[in-house]
């Protein structure tokens, strides 16, 4: 990671600024588009996806966190369990930053 210190990833979508760099617990640099923030605010009112993104890479089965994305041109997706668990937010790694441009899928 960079020598600079970055603000920790907030746990509420309303506290996130578009195109701002945050540091996750993993640690990993994370950034979100305005579209992604709007999707998060609309479909993730409890911030479960933010907790998953903050946690980082996990096993594909039975865990909340980031797992590989099956969507072309995307690297990772958020995975949550329980209410809202049918949605995934997909991110791309660009210049060592996990960027969420606003791609959401359901299953």
Tens digit of each residue's pLDDT (9 = 90 or more) over 54-71: 999 999 888 899 999 999
Cis preceding-peptide flag for 17 (omega within 30 of 0): no
Output the CA torsion 97→19→73→27 (10° steps): 30
Mean pLDDT of 36-63: 95
> In 1-107, which residue ranges form alpha helices assigned H by DSSP?
34-43, 48-55
Each domain of the chain, given as residue ranges in start order, spans 7-106
pLDDT reported for residue 56:
97
- Alpha carbon distances (Å) from 31 to 82, 83, 91: 25, 24, 9
For the chain, give the percent of residues with pLDDT over 70.
95
Name the CATH code of domain 7-106 (choices 3.30.450, 3.30.2310, 3.90.75, 2.40.170): 3.30.2310
């Amino acid at each position: 990671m960079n020598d600079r210190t970055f603000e920790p990833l907030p746990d509420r979508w309303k506290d996130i600024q578009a195109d701002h760099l945050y540091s996750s617990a993993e640690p990993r640099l994370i950034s979100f588009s305005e579209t992604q923030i709007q999707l998060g605010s609309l479909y993730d009112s409890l911030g479960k996806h933010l907790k998953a993104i903050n946690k980082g890479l996990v096993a594909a089965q039975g865990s909340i966190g980031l797992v590989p994305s099956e969507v072309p041109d995307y690297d990772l997706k958020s995975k949550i369990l329980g209410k809202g668990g049918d949605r995934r937010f997909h991110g791309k790694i660009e210049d060592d930053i996990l960027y969420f441009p606003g791609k959401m899928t359901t299953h």
